[in-house]
Amino acid sequence: MSSAALVGADGSIDWCCFPRFDSPSVFAAILDPEVGGHFRIAPASPAVSTDQVYLTDTNILRTTFTTSHGVLTLTDFMPAQHDDDDDPETPPRADDEIHRIVSCESGEVEVFCDYQPRHDYARAMPTFSAQRSRSGSTAVRASGGRQTMTLAATAPLPFDDRGVHTRFTLRQGQSATFVLAYGNGRPAGVERYRTEEKLAATKIYWEGLVSRMHYTGLWRDSVVRSFLALHLMMYRYSGAVVAAPTTSLPETIGGSRNWDYRYSWLRDASFTVDILYRLGDEYGADRYLNWLLEQCNLHRRRTRILYGISPVSSLREYTLDHLRGYEDSRPVRIGNAAADHVQMDVFGEVIVTIHSLLVLKGGLPPAVWDLVQFLAEFVMGNWRRKDRGVWEVRGELQHFVYSKVMCWAALDYAAYIAAALGHRRLYRRWSLAADNIKNEILDQGWSESKKAFRQRYDSEALDASNLGIPFMNLIERDDPRVRLNVDAIERELTQGSLVWRYLPDETDDGLAGQEEGAFTLLSFWLIGNLIYTGQNDRAMDFFHEVITTQSNHLGLFAEMFDPVTQRQLGNFPQAYSHIGLIHTALNLSGFIADTPTRLHSSSS
């Protein structure tokens, strides 16, 4: 909950930034396997098979290698624990550490460790030096690029000017522990990191978080995994939620649709908060709202659509030309110029989330009500503007229909909040403006030729973001236009349960001619539309298809999916995708609960 690491099925950490999500990477092999840096622990001889799972109800990862000589397990975790007197509703006490325990479960297996950190996005080759503890155990310190890390282990750690390269043999029942600790002044002795104690405490922490989750529906394993993944993307010091912990994983292999998602978008994070409230995690949701209030107070003169996760975060976008990119997908970008974009939809998403808070708690703190007024008045003065839309296009500004819908939602929901809190004048003011926006949308945003909502005014192009319109109640769910709209989008932008955002040839997104994968969140929005239009059998079938084919072996989702290569695309894991899964599981479970005979027929 400060940073994250990606661990491959081959036992290699190929991406990690320390000490924060948006800090420079120390391992970036996923963006350049030759120079990016990695930390691999695996059998020295090729494995016959490999299996990778999370320990039940935790974010502790276990990789099992079966070799011709025996079975080896690798347990990876970042510590998260409470002190004995801590309130379980507070952030965990955590250290900037990765603990790796390699154990021989049967037979005899030779193990190798290849530790090659490359600091500052591989712009700084660290220097390595030996450290020795009082107990005689060894450690290796890597310093460079204003970053320092210590690798301590129970195994020997021979090193050269490139890193640590060691081999050793484990027999059944034997294990070795490696601890990677970030920062200066870290102890040399591996025993001082108390790995077994921290492993037990970390297990208790995650299990406790899941035990307080309110969910009794179907697909519990998928919902729990998404819930835990979202928590891995919450910055523990502020409550900010990153869109994903990675940068520049491509939306098109070999293309330039590569963006840095290690920041907090109001849109994504607001939907996350709504999910946390629905699952009973009020503390996590409240922390985000407190962070949001702080950010908006700091930036009153210029409201942003995304923020850094800490006061020292930089959003300035630039490229790292020394990295070849994921499978030669260039450029590698750091920072995100979308921070300067005009995107009018996000204010609606924030206010809708605050409306959920009002419904849940029956009231709002004064600071939250002040935020509603500020955002609603901003929308009042700006809803007629063109913007870059929900997809952050880098072409010409347009009157995007989804942006107008969310402007309507901002004022409509703000009006309901005002009425509930007794502010009749604001209720009338915002309601009247909301009605004006709605009338314009239904007049200029509907295409009679396509029988669907347009992507933008004065265009016949379609956009799958308009699958979100029924969720906002702009029109009644039994309005014929709901069914017509989803039918048209299915004709032009879907392949079964897969949904594309728009047709690139019809949209000036600043990246002409580049195809991309199907957008995972939109698959869940499609399923929601099928439920609303009574196509319940298809909704169930599509949901099963999405969770079994678009996730990876751990139940984690990227931003997109390529049906041709059957691989994930875009940054990973993606908060937006996991939000969609939880919403859809809740809605489908509610539908099944209301129609008990449906469950029997669907399982036959």
**471 CB-near residues (< 8 Å, 6+ apart):** 525, 528
pLDDT of the residue at 226: 97
CA distances from 175 to 61, 104, 158, 589 (A): 16, 6, 18, 43
Other CB atoms within a 10 A radius of the CB of residue 166 amount to 18
- The three-class DSSP label of residue 321 is coil
H helix count then E strand count, the chain: 15, 24
pTM for this prediction: 0.93
pLDDT of the residue at 356: 85
Domain ranges of the chain: 5-196, 221-603
Block residue for tokens 């678009």: 550
The 10s digit of each residue's pLDDT in 184-236 is 888 888 999 999 999 999 999 999 999 999 998 999 999 999 999 999 999 98
Distance CA 182, CA 151 (A): 9
Mean local confidence (pLDDT), 263-285: 84
Average confidence score pLDDT of the chain:
91
Distance CA 433, CA 414 (A): 11
- Asked if pLDDT for residue 596 goes beyond 50, the answer is no
Tell me the CB-side half-sphere exposure of residue 340, using CA atoms within 13 A. Answer: 8
Correct CATH for 5-196 of 2.70.98.10, 3.40.50.300, 3.10.105.10, 3.30.230.10: 2.70.98.10
Query: Where does residue 312 rank: exposed (0-12), middle (13-18), buried (19+ CB within 10 A)?
Result: exposed
Distance CA 583, CA 424 (A): 33
Amino acid at 285: A
pLDDT of the residue at 603: 28
Task: Give first-to-last CA distance, the chain, whole Å.
Answer: 42
- Asked if pLDDT for residue 45 goes beyond 50, the answer is yes
For residue 504, give the DSSP letter.
Answer: G
> Which CATH architecture fits 221-603?
Alpha/alpha barrel (1.50)
Amino acid at 146: R
Q: Where are the beta strands (DSSP E) in 409-515?
A: 446-447, 452-453, 494-495, 498-499
Query: Where does residue 110 rank: exposed (0-12), middle (13-18), buried (19+ CB within 10 A)?
Result: middle
The 10s digit of each residue's pLDDT in 98-127 is 999 999 999 999 999 999 999 999 999 999
User: 601 falls in which pLDDT band (50, 70, 90)?
Assistant: very low
pLDDT of the residue at 139: 93
The 10s digit of each residue's pLDDT in 365-419 is 998 999 999 999 999 999 999 999 888 887 889 999 999 999 999 999 999 999 9
The 10s digit of each residue's pLDDT in 118-152 is 999 999 999 999 987 766 667 999 999 999 999 99
pLDDT of the residue at 90: 60
